[in-house]
Amino acid sequence: MDENGERGALLADPTDPAMAATARSFGAAASVYHRARPGYPVEAVEWLIGDAPRVLDLGAGTGKLTEALVALDRDVIAVDPVEEMLEELEIAVPGVPRVLGTAEDIPLADTSVDAVVAGQAWHWFQPERAVPEIARVLRPGGVLGLVWNSRDIRADWLRQAGEIMQERHDASATFESYVTIGRPFGAIEEHAIEWSERMSRARFLDLVRSRSHHITASPGEQAATIAALETLLETHPDLAGAAELAVPYVTRCFRARLG
C-alpha cells in the first residue's frame, strides 16, 4: 500500500494470482514498511471519523492509521489479510484487537462499529462486494473514510525520484477516478491537507524499498534504483547536501455516510 496509492494496478482483481503475489510481498517487508512510511495528520483523521467512538481500520497493514486513531482515544479494531503486517501492528500499537480478514469478508458482527476507515487500501477492494460488507458492520448513520498520503511531486526532486522509481501514475491526480462508493452510502465529501515529513536520506531510501514495485523487482533492478536515487539526493540543487529531507505530502481524504 504505497503512499502514492500504488499497490499494483488500480482496480485490479484481488483474486488475480499476480496481484495476490504482490500483496504477499508486503508481508516480507512489513518491518521496513512500518519504519519508513509516514503517518497521517491528526486533522485528516479527525475529519474522516468525526466523533465516532468505535472504528474499524480496514486493510490496517502495520498500523500507521491505527496509531492515529488510538492517539485520538478511539476504540479500534484492525483487520488485514496479511498476518505479517498485523504482527508488525501489534508491535507498533500493542493491545489493539487484530483480525485476519478482507474488505469483502469482514469478520465482525452486524452494526458493530461507528466508522470504517481505509488508509492506502481502497484500490485493493472489490467495491461490489466490499461496500455491502462495510455497510453491514456499520451502525446506522456510520461513516466510511478513505485516506491516501501522496508525495507532492510538484517538488522537482520528488518528480525526478518518481521517474527513477518508475511511478506508474500520479495518484494525487487520479483519486476521483476510482473513489466510488455508491448506495447505501450518501454523497462523497473531500478534504485535502498539505504537509511535510522530515526524514533522513536512509529512511527515504527505505521508503523506496517498501514499495511493491521495488520489492518484486530483480536484485539488479533494485540496486540500480537505489544507486540512482542516492546520486539524485547528492546532486539535486534543492537538497543542497542536506542530511535530512523535508518530503512534501498531500493527504487526500474522502468520506461518505451510511444512509
> Which domains can be identified in the chain, with CATH numbers?
17-151+169-196+248-257 (3.40.50.150)
Instruction: Write the single-letter amino acid at 258.
Output: L
3-state secondary structure of 154: coil
Residues 6+ apart with CB under 8 A from 64: 34, 37, 38, 39, 40, 119
10 Å CB burial of residue 105 (0-12, 13-18, 19+) is exposed
Q: Using CA atoms, how far apart are residues 25 and 84, in angstroms rounded to an integer? A: 10
Kindly tell me if the per-residue pLDDT of 6 is higher than 90. Answer: no
Cell numbers that stand for 225 in this block: 534504483
Q: Is 4's pLDDT higher than 50?
A: no
Q: Round to whole Å and give the CA distance between 229 and 224.
A: 9
- Bridge partners (DSSP) listed for residue 257: 143
Q: What is the pLDDT of residues 78-125, one digit of tens each?
A: 999 989 889 989 998 999 999 999 999 999 999 999 999 999 888 888
pTM above 0.85, yes or no: no
Q: Give per-residue pLDDT as tens, 152-203.
A: 888 899 999 989 987 754 444 556 566 889 999 999 999 999 999 898 998 8
The pLDDT confidence band at residue 226, using thresholds 50, 70 and 90, is very high
**Residue 208 pLDDT level (bands cut at 50, 70, 90):** confident
Helix (H/G/I), strand (E/B), else coil: 61: coil
Chain centre distance of CA 100: 17
Q: Tens of pLDDT along 118-166?
A: 998 888 889 999 999 999 999 999 999 999 988 888 889 999 998 998 7
Q: Contact, 117 vs 56, CB < 8 A? A: yes
Position 220 scores a pLDDT of 93
pLDDT of residue 27: 47
User: Which residue, among 167, 237, 179, has the nearest Cα to 207 in the 3D structure?
Assistant: 167
What is the model's pLDDT at position 22? Answer: 45
